[in-house]
């Protein structure tokens, strides 16, 4: 029987573990096991008297190498859904609840090459929740997209006034609420006269639901109006508050003693210019007997509701 020669794209084919040249009586066979797309080409079989040739096209046996899977995401975040097809040349179509997805400013469809495809949401909306389908010919892959509500801006919930003695740091505990799923860090600042207090003056601690400001070295002159500002990636909330740094009150003003007699006198005075940050509960009038060695002793008390005038008999 005559010998034949097999060629691919003009080059002789040599048998190996994957390629066999078979003689079966008068028949000659070229057997390619586990054929690949790269095996395609112009094949030729020649004898000493004749030639036959044909182009062999090998298509991918398409399948999903990577399928869609159920996904949970958060509102306003970026999301990439991706699949991979065995057939690198096969197109794919994306659908949402059975309807074709049309690319827009917030939705992008990408063919990454090599059988890889992506559906990209640049900023998820609650309306994007539903069933996502990717189809390629008769093949399809589906997933359920669930979207959690994103975070809201902080909402401050604190009293209008804070107070504390200057003998220790003054603490301001400021509760706040952020609804939805936390996405961005919370920042807090304390303002006085429109300017934020520097780190050297105030320490700020932020937890999930509370901000604590610690005024490190309070003094009476730091009392006054302040503004609290708490913010995250969605916005900010502000609250105007009064901070009272408490100290001892100033002395009474315009103190005068008249009508001094052996057994009585009249003491008159006006309230102090600064009560120290807390209401005065009473005034105490004391006397000192210079003829005796003991010190001052209380002889009368005046309530703030009484006139600042007291006639006291001496003992």
Check residue 291 and give its pLDDT.
77
Query: How far is residue 166 from each of residues 170, 193, 199, 214, measured CA to CA in Å?
Result: 7, 21, 19, 12
> What's residue 24's pLDDT?
86
**How high is the pLDDT of residue 177?**
97
Task: Tell me the mean pLDDT per 10 residues along the chain, length 315.
Answer: 85 92 88 89 91 88 94 96 93 96 96 96 96 95 97 96 95 96 96 95 96 96 97 97 95 90 84 92 87 81 76 52
Cα 183 to Cα 201: distance, rounded to the nearest angstrom: 30
pLDDT of residue 37: 82
Q: How far is CA 107 from the centre of its chain?
A: 23
Please name the residue that has the structure tokens 């399948």: 63
As annotated, the residues of the chain forming the CATH 2.60.40.10 domain(s) are 5-56, 64-148, 155-246
Overall fold of domain 155-246: Immunoglobulin-like (2.60.40)
Q: Which helix (H) or strand (E) holds 95?
A: strand 93-96
* Domain boundaries 64-148, CATH class: mainly beta
pTM of the entire predicted model = 0.69
The pLDDT of residue 238 is: 98
Domain 5-56 -> CATH class: mainly beta
Decide if 232 contacts 187 (C-beta within 8 A).
yes
């Amino acid at each position: 029987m005559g010998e034949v020669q097999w060629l691919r794209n003009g080059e002789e084919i040599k048998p190996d573990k994957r390629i066999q040249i078979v003689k079966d009586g008068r028949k000659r066979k070229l057997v390619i096991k586990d054929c690949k797309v790269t095996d395609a080409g112009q094949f030729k079989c020649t004898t000493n008297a004749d030639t036959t040739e044909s182009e062999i096209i090998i298509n991918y046996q398409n399948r999903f190498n990577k399928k869609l899977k159920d996904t949970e995401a958060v509102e306003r975040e970026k999301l990439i859904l991706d699949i991979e097809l065995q057939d690198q040349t096969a197109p794919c179509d994306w659908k949402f609840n059975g309807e074709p997805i049309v690319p827009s400013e917030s939705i992008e469809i990408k063919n990454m090459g090599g059988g890889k495809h992506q559906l990209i949401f640049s900023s998820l909306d609650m309306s994007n929740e539903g069933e996502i389908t990717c189809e390629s010919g008769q093949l399809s892959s589906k997933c359920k997209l669930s979207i959690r509500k994103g975070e809201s801006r902080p909402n401050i919930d604190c009293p209008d006034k804070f107070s504390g003695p200057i003998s220790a740091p003054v603490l301001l505990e400021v509760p706040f609420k952020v609804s939805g799923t936390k996405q961005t860090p919370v920042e807090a600042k304390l303002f006085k006269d429109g300017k934020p207090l520097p780190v050297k003056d105030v320490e700020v601690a932020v937890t999930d639901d509370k901000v604590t400001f610690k005024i490190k070295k309070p003094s009476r002159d730091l009392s006054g109006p302040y503004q609290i500002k708490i913010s995250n990636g969605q916005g900010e909330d502000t609250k105007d508050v009064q901070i009272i740094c408490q100290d001892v009150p100033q002395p009474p003003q315009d103190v005068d003693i008249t009508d001094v007699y052996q057994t009585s006198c009249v003491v008159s005075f006006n309230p102090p210019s600064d009560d120290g940050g807390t209401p005065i509960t009473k005034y105490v009038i004391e006397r000192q007997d210079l003829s005796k060695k003991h010190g001052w002793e209380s002889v009368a008390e005046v309530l703030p509701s009484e006139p600042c005038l007291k006639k006291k008999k001496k003992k």
